[in-house]
Amino acid sequence: MSELKTIAVARSADGVARVTMSRAEVFNAFDETMIAELGSAFDALAADDAVRAIVLAGAGKAFSAGADLQWMQRASQASFEWNLEDARRFAGMLDRIANCPKPTIARVQGVALGGGVGLVCACDFAVAADNARFAVSEAKFGILPAVIGPYVINAVGKRHAKRLALTAAQIPAPEALAIGLVHAVVAPDALDEAVDGLLAQLGQNGPRALGEIKQLFAQLAEGPVTPQVRELTAQTIARVRGTDEAREGFAAFLAKRPAAWIRS
């Protein structure tokens, strides 16, 4: 990966990669450069077999204030064609996070605003400090949360998502927990401990199985279990049962020993 200007990426021996947005002076607001670097980073980490899970964080006092306003001002003065390509790049970055085969955790402190909420919702898990605040704030600037909209809806449901988008109101971490925007709320000084606890749980499970879960669940929607869905799930489990990881998992359980993927 070439020299990074807006993010930092660190890998640890236990298979955890930490991607940190590093524009603390603007509360980690993202622009074209950060969007490109986040997309490239998640591509690289997705392809790295040594990486078992990814933590997305923000440096300084905030997780992310969303779109850099100077970037948005440039967009408001640009052509439709420029805006379309720019929006496609943003959409592609969120897709790389959401469809990363590795479990992803958003570590949220301070504020997550606008596109920052989109980043939270694109991750599999979100752990927030109890003083964090969230707002889908685009309407305040005369625009709308279009690209992040599907991820917000998937996280909290359509009715909560519409309320957040239409009011642009900030909500506190406990309310974000109640509507499913985040999965855990802890004291600020316990944030890293909570993230590490979740990483420890993930580390007990087969890494390829976790990727299979993400891939399968991305194809499933709430509603009737159709013949096509039944066939998809049967085909998937039949294939995965025959993998080396599955054989190791069953052998380890029967032998009452840790599976090979569990690191001390």
What does the mean pLDDT of the chain come to? 96
| 240: pLDDT strictly greater than 80 | yes
Rounded CA gap, 131 and 119, in Å? 18
Homologous superfamily (CATH) for 7-203: 2-enoyl-CoA Hydratase; Chain A, domain 1 (3.90.226.10)
pLDDT at position 70, please? 87
The predicted pLDDT at position 86 comes to 92
pLDDT of residue 59: 98
Gap between the Cα atoms of 22 and 101, Å rounded: 24
Q: What is the residue extent of each domain of the chain?
A: 7-203, 207-254
Higher pLDDT, 51 or 263: 51
3-state secondary structure labels for all residues of the chain = CCCCCCEEEEECCCCEEEEEECCHHHCCCECHHHHHHHHHHHHHHHCCCCCCEEEEEECCCCCECCECHHHHHHHHCCCHHHHHHHHHHHHHHHHHHHCCCCCEEEEECCEEECHHHHHHHHCCEEEEECCCEEECCHHHHCCCCCCCHHHHHHHHCHHHHHHHHHHCCCEEHHHHHHCCCCCEEECHHHHHHHHHHHHHHHHCCCHHHHHHHHHHHCCCCCCCCCHHHHHHHHHHHHHHHCCHHHHHHHHHHHCCCCCCCCCC
pLDDT band at 73 (very low <50, low <70, confident <90, very high): confident
> If pLDDT is split at 50, 70 and 90, which confidence band does 23 have?
very high
**Sorting pLDDT into bands at 50, 70 and 90, what band is 58?**
very high
Residues labelled as active-site residues: 138
Give me the mean pLDDT over the 106-134 stretch.
98
Q: Which one, of 175, 146, 16, lies nearest residue 75 by Cα?
A: 146
Q: Give me the residue label for tokens 């990363």.
A: 100
What value does the mean pLDDT take over residues 29-58?
Answer: 96
- Output the pLDDT for position 74: 86
Phi and psi based region of residue 142 (left: phi greater than 0; alpha: psi -120 to 50; beta: remaining):
left
| pLDDT value of residue 71 | 85
Q: Which pLDDT value is given to residue 146?
A: 97
Question: What average pLDDT does this structure show over 73-82?
Answer: 89
Question: Hey, how many other C-beta atoms are within 10 angstroms of the C-beta on 178?
Answer: 14
CA distance from start to end of the chain: 29
**156-192, pLDDT tens digit by residue?**
999 999 999 999 999 999 999 999 999 999 999 999 9
Are 37 and 4 in contact by the 8 Å Cβ rule? The answer is: yes
Residue type, 30: F
pLDDT band at 1 (very low <50, low <70, confident <90, very high): low
